[in-house]
Amino acid sequence: SAPGPTGSPVFQQDVQFFSTMNECHYDKRMDFFYNRSNSDTADEWTGTKLVIVLCFGTFFCLFIFFSNSLVIAAVIKNRKFHFPFYYLLANLAAADFFAGIAYVFLMFNTGPVSKTLTVNRWFLRQGLLDTSLTASLTNLLVIAVERHMSIMRMRVHSNLTKKRVTLLILLIWAIAIFMGAVPTLGWNCLCDISTCSSLAPIYSRSYLIFWTVSNLVAFFIMVVVYLRIYMYVKRKTNVLSPHTSGSISRRRTPMKLMKTVMTVLVYFIVLWTPGSLFSFIQFSCP
């Protein structure tokens, strides 16, 4: 008897194509995904280039560890820093310290090593970076809200209780860990390689869009809050300065608040610029 439509060569090719597309690739090494995405990886880091990358990474990781350790120790030991703002600042330092750990792990799992990584190890490498960045950015957003609450009441410190600050810190880390673990939990392209990103070969393009938009929204809200703080402080300072009847401490309060805001922003920029540069090197030579 004549073969049915299911026995035709065209049908068999279609079945093979769709089975390949729906096949999960958990057992593959990263060279499979890098080769498929046409990502350029450094096949060999030797000589001057290797020394520069390792020296640059080591120096800034040590800087991150040292500077953040000082901040955390200062907040713990000095009783005058036992206020919500400084607890959040110490948590920001802890997030950046964690980022240093992520960069150390990255240094030993990048370049030519990238192609030899297992899927789980690559997820761990990127998850540590995503978690640390999300923790820092979310913490900075919470600090912005805390400063906004303080300045609207013309107080250097907000009236947040230690219990509420503790819950906020736990919430920050819960969000950060969730964002870093989402790809490992299933939002990836291992079972549908047609959706893989060329920048991050086993991340779905939809997840990268979600992660990028989420961070941009958080950053935009943070900038808006800080601009509102700046405009309020400037307006309040202009109103108070012509009057001499107010106490000196009251007239200095807006400037104290502004100094704390600038301290946080400078702190964030200084500690994340080295990491951003190192990540740029990593993505240039994955």
In a domain, 32, yes or no: no
User: For position 282, what pLDDT does the model report?
Assistant: 46
The answer to whether residue 5 is domain-embedded is no
Cβ partners under 8 Å of residue 283, min gap 6: 199
What is the pTM assigned to this prediction? 0.74
Q: Is residue 99 part of a domain?
A: yes
Q: Does a structural domain hold residue 19?
A: no
Q: Distance between CA 105 and CA 114 in Å, rounded?
A: 12
How far apart CA 22 and CA 17 sit, in angstroms, is 9
Helices (H), 157-204: 162-185
Reduced to 3 states (helix: H, G, I; strand: E, B; else coil), residue 32 is helix
* Cβ contact 133:99 at 8 Å: yes
DSSP 80: G
Q: Is residue 39 part of a domain?
A: no
Domain count, the chain: 1
Among 160, 151, 101, which Cα is nearest to 131's?
101
Placement of tokens 């948590």 in the chain: 91
In a domain, 22, yes or no: no
CATH number of the domain that 247 lies in?
Answer: 1.20.1070.10
HSE toward the beta carbon, residue 270, CA cutoff 13 A: 12
Position 101 in a domain: yes
Considering the domain boundaries, does residue 24 fall inside one? no
Is the Cα torsion angle 218, 129, 107, 125 positive or negative in sign?
Answer: negative
Positions of the chain with pLDDT under 70: 1-22, 37-47, 50, 154-159, 240-286
Q: How far apart are CA 257 and CA 247, in angstroms?
A: 16
Cα 117 from Cα 108, distance rounded (Å): 11
CB burial of residue 28 (10 Å; 0-12, 13-18, 19+) = middle
Domain range for 60 is 44-284
